[in-house]
Amino acid sequence: MRLYVNIDHVATVREARRTDEPDPVRAAAAAERGGADGITVHLREDRRHIQDADVRALRTAVRTVLNLELGAAPEIVRIAGRLKPFQATLVPERRQEITTEGGLALGGATPKIRTAIARLTAAGIRVSLFIDPDPGAIDRAAALGVAAVELHTGRYARSWRKSDAALRALERAAAHARGRSLAVHAGHGLTYDNVQPVAALRDIEELNIGHSIVSHAIFLGMEEAVRRMRQLVDEARRP
């Protein structure tokens, strides 16, 4: 199970003062020392946290792989095409949202998403689509010819204490996506408390976790915060 660490909120703290600390590049290096298999950042159109210069710096500094989250806006897709991260995860983006609220709507004509996929693929970038754990969305993603889907774990994160329905939906969706030859990633709202049942799902091969790790890093340091998440994920995965 690969653990990709999303360091957007390191940049959120920096942007709170528009200064030069804390440095996302330093955070990425510490996350890698702690056992991250990849570093994820979201270059939003509103640039509320990660900036273009961060992505450029991370592109050369990251020793593992860089996963760039982005909306399908042509300007951002062009930047991705130039920087060529290992992976691009297309996400829906709305200006007013606090965080990515739902998966991509792939119903009907999706010309912007098709164009984004074509441009990213032509640049040699592995493309993943962030979608809800829903069979219809998975079928539409498969039809778009991408390598991977990232299943939105937000509903699970909100409800896991009360019911296992969302976990079962993730399990079914992951199996459905594997059956469609898609690599299966998952993320959003995963924490030290709720990660293990998701990490134990065999059809999922990659987790993207940000807010909870950065929160723990305030008290433990980034390296140790990632190490502890890594241990939980590895433990859940043991036969």
HEC secondary structure over 103-153: CCCCCCCCHHHHHHHHHHHHCCCEEEEEECCCHHHHHHHHHCCCCEEEEEC
Active site residue 42: yes
Interface residue with ligand PXP among 22, 208, 229, 233 (CB under 6 A) is 208
CB of 29 to ligand PXP, least distance (A): 20
Between 38 and 239, name the residue whose CB sits nearer to ligand PXP: 38
Q: Binding of ligand PXP at residue 14 (CB under 6 A)?
A: no
Between 69 and 171, name the residue whose CB sits nearer to ligand PXP: 69
What is the contact mask toward ligand PXP in residues 56 to 95, using x (rule: CB under 6 A)? Answer: -------------x-------------------x-x----
Q: Binding of ligand PXP at residue 42 (CB under 6 A)?
A: yes
Between 32 and 89, name the residue whose CB sits nearer to ligand PXP: 89
CB of 239 to ligand PXP, least distance (A): 26
- Taking each helix axis from N to C terminus, what angle separates 24-33 and 52-61, rounded to the nearest 10 degrees? 30
Q: Maximum distance among all alpha carbons in the chain?
A: 47
Instruction: Tell me which stretch binds ligand PXP (CB under 6 A): 18-26, 135-143, 193-201, 206-214.
Output: 206-214
HEC secondary structure over 186-234: EECCCCCCCHHHHHCCCCCCEEEECHHHHHHHHHHCHHHHHHHHHHHHH
- Give CA–CA dist 114/98, Å, rounded: 26
Between 97 and 239, name the residue whose CB sits nearer to ligand PXP: 97
Residue 89 amino acid letter: T
Residue 23's closest CA among 13, 35, 36, 37? Answer: 13
Active site residue 176: no
Total residues interacting with ligand PXP, rule: CB under 6 A: 19
Active site residue 69: yes
The backbone region for 4, taken as left when phi is positive above 0, alpha when psi lies in -120 to 50, beta otherwise, is beta
Instruction: Tell me which stretch binds ligand PXP (CB under 6 A): 76-84, 116-124, 159-167, 188-196.
Output: 188-196
In the set 42, 152, 185, 216, the catalytic residue is: 42
Residue 133 amino acid letter: P
Known catalytic residues are: 42, 69, 188
Point out which residues bind ligand PXP (CB under 6 A).
6, 8, 42, 69, 89, 91, 99-100, 130, 150, 187-190, 208-212
